[in-house]
Amino acid sequence: MKPDMPFPMRTPLPRSLLALVLILLQTGCSLMGIPSTEEPNYSVLQQEDRFEVRDYETLVLAETLVDASFDGAGSIAFKRLFGYISGDNEAASSISMTTPVMALDENRSSGEKISMTAPVTGQQKALGWRFAFVLPTGYTLETAPVPSNTVVKLKQIPARKVAVVRYTGSWSEAAYEENLELLQQWMKRNRLEAVSLPRVAGYDPPWTLPFLRRNEVMIDIKS
């Protein structure tokens, strides 16, 4: 009988490929819209059809600002933010992927009615889209790894109340605008006062079947 041949030595996976494998494993159920990643803790205070008022706990975000169209900004921002959680930070440590991915339109007209309790920035020029990943529960500004890329910033968001509309389909600017209008109408009927600019949130990777995707438009409201 011939002796068993030893297994050949395997070359370690490059960091970028390993990170991609990990995120595919984390989102493996997302093709069918089955949640497989952590999302921020919140309680539902009010619900009507696709609309909700939620009470969110304090969050820590990794965010980046991209001066480009919605579609173009998304791909640039994702590369930066995914790089950060994959080890492009001073601790060279990986961070679990969470949902949602959020985007805020810094160009939105200040002509929309915003409560005077909201920050006044005095912006005069277009700034683009601000994209953010939510860091897993347990991270603080003090314990989160510092980004190596200077265009990625860490930010802490205090606990707050948020008006939300949920919808399916593509994570596009057109769908965002359509559902933003619906949310603003619902807020007006329910006398909910905005204290932030609106943002869009996506919970599923691009390969998820469109009719199973979870997207949301969010606006912070006065307590």
Distance, in Å, from the CA atom of 23 to the CA atom of 37, rounded to the nearest integer, reads: 10
Q: For residue 121, what is the domain's CATH number?
A: 3.20.80.10
- For residue 100, being part of any structural domain is answered with yes
- For residue 110, being part of any structural domain is answered with yes
Neighbours of 111 (CB within 10 A): 6
pLDDT surpassing 50 at residue 88 = yes
- For residue 31, being part of any structural domain is answered with no
Give the residue with greater pLDDT, 18 vs 39.
Answer: 39
What is the pTM (predicted TM-score) of this model? Answer: 0.77
**Sheet with 152-157: strands ordered across:** 42-48, 51-56, 160-167, 215-221, 199-202, 101-105, 129-134, 59-66, 152-157
- For residue 30, being part of any structural domain is answered with no
- For residue 61, being part of any structural domain is answered with yes
The number of domains in the chain is: 1
What percent of the chain stands above pLDDT 70? 75
- For residue 21, being part of any structural domain is answered with no
- For residue 105, being part of any structural domain is answered with yes
pLDDT surpassing 90 at residue 118 = no
Q: Give residue 174's domain range.
A: 38-221
- For residue 90, being part of any structural domain is answered with yes
Neighbours of 54 (CB within 10 A): 20
